[in-house]
Structure 1
């Protein structure tokens, strides 16, 4: 009542209280006790910091710089960024860029028209365009290609830290294979062994269960998407991304920033160069080994989809997809919880590995048996795989696909997982590596033998329990799934340091009950 009465007063003369009863004003004596029991609000750490060794990068698909310029310029994060990378500026070559100056920043812009050859279908289409604002006190050097790439991009190198930053955009009308060919050739031209940050909207939803051709290829090249598990649009898709081939701990550096003027949220990346960075993630030789989902991807450029004169954006109205929003949120949370749960199980497994090995030794065992005979006694058989140092990943590929060709991709996603969780696994590496960075750099190379850490990581990323058979031992389960039937079977020969695949006699997938396995 007091609020209602006081809020209706329009003049100071009308503000008075009649029949004041002082005894009606009191304080609950238990209030201090209740306040002491309340949990303190955990405030999210503000990622933007002002320091000479910290670089703050803001990326946004702005959907029209002309119409959204004032909103961008006045956004509270904009003035904190050292670099502002934009896609879909929708500006043309004859646009007066002076109208889009931001105080304290220099501007570089590249239109869609100047990015594609005159014969390319996208050359005559509206939209596109890349822009980069860089702080006047933050020196950069623009990097140009010697070739005409049919690729929307702006690339520059930071002079102080020697980081290559590529801002790129793929129109939904540009064929993914063509985009990947051009992008990969360009990264090789730059020097893929360098420290590179790849920023952009590639119009591939990384939260989707469908095949993600672009993400797969970039993973093989050694790039990790730091925004992979985060929705970046109003429809809870993740189209915007920042890939890196050297940043070690993604959770320390990134944040999604809400905007009110675009279908897309902005991405904020803060890199602290005082921290030790990893070397590039994947050995360059793996690029040659890569096999894409489409045949002969690097031998020919497929035709680009013809674009109608009037095209509609990929961004369907939120109401059309509202029925799927809740489902996507659940999947997103479930995936994160599952990975967190199994990382804990993985750590327990690694901590108890020596005890597990001792428990697996059979008390009564005849030396007359061979490993093949031991497998035959339980209805299984060994399938030989090539012994070239990649045998573990070849055996896992055979378990999944009945061929060994996917071993490069499996190794790459395992390395990506180890990079993302490097701090958790530092204590489990062998002394010969000295640091987790050295271990990951070595394990990334072709023909490097997989060890206990790589094997346990494989189980987690594939969501499969890996069953390892060894002569004279109980099969050991390396945890990766809550479901006992999710099994991949391999066998190991410690005398020649070699893994092979294991199937049932009828060539079906092997399966053992919980009673026949040493479960940790």
Structure 2
């Protein structure tokens, strides 16, 4: 093979790899999902925190966003709670996709699969409209159109849809004063996994791990307020 052909081959391969990563090929996602042992935790967090009393979850769209000072103070409160329970946040990028990034990290061990998670959530919302439309205070099609966009903040409706789509119990440790632990159960009550997220001040989600077990991967962009 000539040098030019080798270069062309390398360029083509690089282009294909880049395209593959950008589109997040669903076959690769399916392959990852099939690896049950690598995806399923031993629920160490769930066992350790089983004494926590959760409150019922009510799906809702995002409310009023606090100012920077209030948000920073709330995160300090959340950090104290996480220390108490031996938990540490793997911080997600503050690009508007943090909920989907945190879910992707818990599901696939890679927050970069957030686009796939968003697509699956939108499918769930679209195909099971009757489960969710009463929680959306706007025209439902407009809500779906808005939520499809990358960078659109996830809310408690999308969290419920994610729990339903992935048959997961989503456990939220929050910065809220009275509702610091929320469990989001799938509607059909069938559970195949637990996902642990932190949530503070209506503005940001991170992925939770036992302290000492946090993976080394890190976001490429700035964190929210950091």
Question: Is it true that 1:458 corresponds to 2:137 in the alignment?
Answer: no
Structure 2 stretches lacking a partner, 5+ long = 1-15, 29-55, 61-73, 216-226
Question: Is it true that 1:378 corresponds to 2:85 in the alignment?
Answer: yes
Structure 1: which 4+ aligned runs deviate by more than 6 Å? none
Q: Determine which structure has the larger strand proportion and give its number.
A: 1
Question: Is it true that 1:440 corresponds to 2:144 in the alignment?
Answer: yes
Corresponding position of 2:135: 428
Matches for 1:25-424 after TM superposition, within 5 Å: 289-292=22-25, 349-350=57-58, 370-424=77-131
Question: Contact 1:290 / 1:409 at 8 angstroms: preserved in 2?
Answer: no
**Rg larger in 1 or in 2?**
1
Shift of 1:484: 7.4
Across the aligned residues of Structure 1 and Structure 2, the Cα RMSD in angstroms comes to: 3.2
Q: Deviations along 1:262-306, whole A, 9 cap, x unmatched?
A: xxxxxxxxxxxxxxxxxxxxxxxxxx94222679xxxxxxxxxxx
Counterpart Cα distance in 1 of 2:198 and 2:168: 16
Counterpart Cα distance in 2 of 1:435 and 1:452: 17
Counterpart Cα distance in 2 of 1:463 and 1:294: 20
Question: Contact 1:459 / 1:478 at 8 angstroms: preserved in 2?
Answer: yes
Shift of 1:466: 0.5
- Structure 2 length normalisation: TM-score? 0.59
- Specify which structure has the bigger relative contact order, considering alpha-carbon pairs within 8 angstroms and separated by 6 or more residues: 2
Counterpart Cα distance in 2 of 1:392 and 1:381: 17
Shift of 1:448: 0.5
- Structure 1 length normalisation: TM-score? 0.27
Question: Contact 1:381 / 1:504 at 8 angstroms: preserved in 2?
Answer: yes
Secondary structure in structure 1 of the residue aligned to 2:89: strand
Corresponding position of 1:91: none
Structure 1 stretches lacking a partner, 5+ long = 1-180, 182-216, 218-287, 296-347, 354-366, 510-520
* Count of matched residue pairs: 154
Counterpart Cα distance in 2 of 1:408 and 1:479: 22
Counterpart Cα distance in 1 of 2:113 and 2:101: 7
Question: Contact 1:466 / 1:488 at 8 angstroms: preserved in 2?
Answer: yes
Shift of 1:409: 0.5
Q: Determine which structure has the larger helix proportion and give its number.
A: 2
Question: Contact 2:99 / 2:154 at 8 angstroms: preserved in 1?
Answer: yes
Question: Is it true that 1:498 corresponds to 2:211 in the alignment?
Answer: no
Question: Cα 1:294–1:458, aligned 2, differ >3 Å: closer, same or farther?
Answer: closer
